[in-house]
């Protein structure tokens, strides 16, 4: 069999992983689509940019901060999601999300093989990383961060370990050029591009502690290039300033669920705990010296994951890259027979072999869903459901439009934009780094019907309200004669201010 046919037809473990992750992601996709309202906002913002042909720098999506300065720190990913939505509706968004996840973890497995890890260990490490990161697998721009962060750390590890790249001038220039390109994309895809600065900082300090001053200097050059490239965005220096400004606001961070620490009483965090335990046992038993760079990366990302659940997916990628080579070396040194079998498997199916099966299977799954076949666990298809959003209430409002300004549930903001923009603008949505601490505090006062909540509604000239029936605000409005209930179901109630 020719080399081309072998690479096309003999499926490698990386391609099998790609297909497995793609299918599992589609299987659980309805839960991912309905996890929060941010997806609706991203699609709406992307559609607006496609329609206008420009990246807006003033708000047009809310009435509370209309025309305020706006920094869209993930504008490019929003355009990509909007294009997928235009092509095939929410099915298109689901396919894009599943493809991104499959690419992320197959790239991790392929990168581990470039680092010298045997194919079975690379497969298992990447699969474990996938299930660990599932705690934050959502159809949102941060998936682009997960992909680029994985590629960045793999590239830096390849350079540091001198496995596939020597340290010639050409190799250094290649790394710098690739880094610049990645950072330009990353800064426009997602505001978490600032993570690159922390990663490069760890490499600088690690190289210095490892007694490699030339490497420390090179990684310092990488940091300068990364920062300069990140300024190639529609907002310039205002973009990193905006991101760091949000990270420094304790109130906003503490009132964003995904930034809270993981709950280890919940099964979704158990794999993260298992990774931490595994790292302690493996490094405790491994007798060969581990570099300071590896220890700094693993220690820092462990701390980041413990601090904020949204960092767990990133932690799993870094932990795989650091721990899989160590586990592979320890296991194969302990069993020469296993070593021989693994190496034979590596030779039979080179990295990435079998790509034709990957393309064919993905195309068939997408065609099946486009034809109406449901592949998910719930049998619902890729739709926004009443479990998560006020679908019935918005259907009613489409035929019985409410006039004036709305007050809405925070987690419904993106969905309401998806269904009702531009005829209606929201009070607030999930972009709380834009709305700011003052408005978020006012929202909390109103939704809990505390303090001067009536004065806040008057301040923003709110004419109608859409919230869950159990909210304190809904109960209090029922006691006021100047508010009329016009719609109610199990998950939403709509109140209209009476004209006096």
- Please, are residues 407 and 446 in contact by the beta-carbon 8 Å criterion? yes
**pLDDT number for residue 350:** 67
Q: What is the pLDDT of residue 348?
A: 59
Boundaries of every domain in the chain: 9-361, 391-497
> What whole-number percentage of the chain has pLDDT above 90?
71
Percentage of the chain lying above the pLDDT 70 cut: 92
pLDDT at 165 over 60: no
Residue 332: predicted pLDDT = 77
Between 325 and 339, name the one with better pLDDT. Answer: 325
Predicted confidence band at 411 (pLDDT cuts at 50, 70, 90)?
very high
Instruction: Give the orientation angle of helix 13-27 with respect to helix 75-114, to 10 degrees.
Output: 140
CA–CA distance, 253 with 313 (Å, rounded to integer): 18
Residue 498 pLDDT > 90, yes or no?
no
CA gap 483, 466 in Å, rounded: 12
Q: What is the predicted pLDDT for the residue at 255? A: 67
Q: What is the pLDDT of residue 308?
A: 87
pLDDT digits (tens, 9 = 90+) for 345-355: 666 566 666 67
- Best-predicted range by mean pLDDT among 243-247, 282-286, 360-364? 360-364
Q: CA-CA distance, 282 to 385, in Å (whole number)?
A: 44
The pLDDT of residue 432 is 84
| pLDDT bucket at 164, cuts 50 / 70 / 90 | very low
User: What's residue 166's pLDDT?
Assistant: 55
| Higher local confidence (pLDDT), 80 or 15 | 80
- How confident is the model over 266-292, as a mean pLDDT? 88
Give strand pairing partners of 62.
Answer: 426
Task: Name the band, by pLDDT with cuts 50, 70 and 90, for residue 342.
Answer: confident
Q: How confident is the model over 464-497, as pLDDT tens digits?
A: 999 999 999 999 999 998 999 999 999 999 999 9
Which segment of 27-41, 80-94, 281-295, 406-420 scores lowest on mean pLDDT? 281-295
Structure tokens at 229: 């490239």
The 8 Å CB, 24+ separation contacts for 144-147 are: 144/77, 144/100, 144/185, 144/186, 144/189, 144/190, 145/186, 145/189, 145/190, 145/192, 145/193, 145/195, 145/314, 146/104, 146/313, 146/314, 146/317, 147/100, 147/103, 147/104, 147/107
* Per-residue pLDDT tens over the stretch 270-281: 999 999 999 999
| φ and ψ at residue 484, rounded to 5 degrees | -120, 130
Query: CA 105, CA 21: separation in Å to the nearest integer?
Result: 8
The answer, yes or no, to whether residue 6 has pLDDT greater than 70, is: no
Residue 197 CA to residue 192 CA, distance in Å, equals 10
Judge whether residue 183 has pLDDT over 80: yes
Q: Which positions ≥6 away from 320 have C-beta within 8 Å?
A: 108, 112, 125, 126, 128, 129
Residue 401 or residue 344, greater confidence: 401
Report the distance separating Cα 322 and Cα 171, nearest Å.
22
Under the banding of pLDDT at 50, 70 and 90, the label for residue 344 is low
């Amino acid at each position: 069999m020719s080399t081309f046919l072998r690479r096309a037809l003999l499926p490698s473990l990386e391609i099998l992983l790609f297909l497995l992750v793609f299918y599992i992601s589609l299987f659980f996709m309805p839960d991912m689509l309905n996890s929060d309202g941010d997806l609706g906002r991203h699609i709406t913002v992307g559609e607006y940019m496609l329609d206008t042909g420009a990246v807006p720098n003033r708000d047009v999506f809310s009435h509370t901060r209309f025309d305020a300065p706006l920094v869209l720190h993930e504008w490019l990913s929003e355009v990509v999601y909007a294009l997928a939505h235009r092509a095939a509706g929410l099915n298109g968004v689901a396919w894009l999300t599943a493809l991104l996840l499959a690419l992320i973890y197959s790239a991790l497995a392929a990168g581990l093989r470039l680092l010298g890890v045997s194919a079975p260990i690379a497969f298992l490490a990447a699969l474990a990383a996938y299930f660990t990161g599932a705690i934050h697998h959502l159809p949102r721009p941060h998936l682009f961060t997960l992909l680029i962060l994985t590629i960045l750390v793999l590239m830096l590890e390849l350079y540091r370990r001198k496995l596939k790249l020597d340290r010639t001038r050409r190799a250094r220039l290649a790394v710098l050029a690739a880094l610049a390109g990645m950072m330009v994309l990353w800064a426009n895809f997602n505001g978490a591009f600032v993570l690159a600065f922390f990663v490069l900082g760890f490499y600088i300090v690690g190289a210095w502690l490892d007694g490699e001053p030339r490497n420390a200097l090179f990684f310092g050059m990488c940091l300068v290039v990364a920062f300069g490239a990140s300024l190639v965005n529609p907002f310039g220096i205002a973009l990193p300033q905006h991101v760091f400004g949000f990270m420094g606001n304790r109130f906003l961070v503490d009132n964003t669920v995904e930034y809270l620490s993981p709950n280890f009483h919940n099964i979704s965090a158990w794999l993260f705990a298992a990774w931490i335990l595994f790292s302690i046992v493996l490094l405790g038993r491994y007798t060969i010296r581990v570099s300071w760079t590896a220890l700094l990366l693993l220690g820092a990302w462990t701390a980041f994951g413990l601090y904020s659940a949204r960092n767990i997916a990133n932690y799993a990628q870094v932990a795989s890259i650091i721990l899989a080579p160590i586990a592979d070396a320890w296991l194969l040194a302990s069993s020469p027979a296993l070593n021989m079998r693994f190496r034979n498997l590596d030779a039979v199916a080179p990295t990435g072999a079998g790509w034709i099966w990957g393309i064919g299977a993905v195309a068939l799954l997408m065609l099946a869903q486009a034809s109406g076949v449901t592949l998910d666990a719930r049998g619902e298809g890729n739709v926004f459901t009443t479990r998560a959003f006020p679908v019935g209430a918005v259907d009613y409002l489409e035929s019985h439009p409410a006039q004036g300004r709305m007050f809405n549930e925070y987690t419904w903001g993106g969905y309401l934009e998806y269904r009702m923009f531009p005829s209606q603008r929201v009070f607030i949505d999930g972009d709380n780094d834009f709305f700011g601490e003052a408005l978020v505090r006012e929202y909390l006062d109103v939704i809990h019907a505390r303090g001067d909540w009536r004065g806040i509604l008057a301040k923003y000239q709110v004419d109608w309200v859409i919230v869950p029936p159990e909210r304190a605000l809904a109960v209090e409005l029922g006691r006021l004669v100047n508010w009329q209930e016009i719609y109610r179901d199990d998950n939403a109630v709509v109140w209209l201010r009476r004209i006096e």
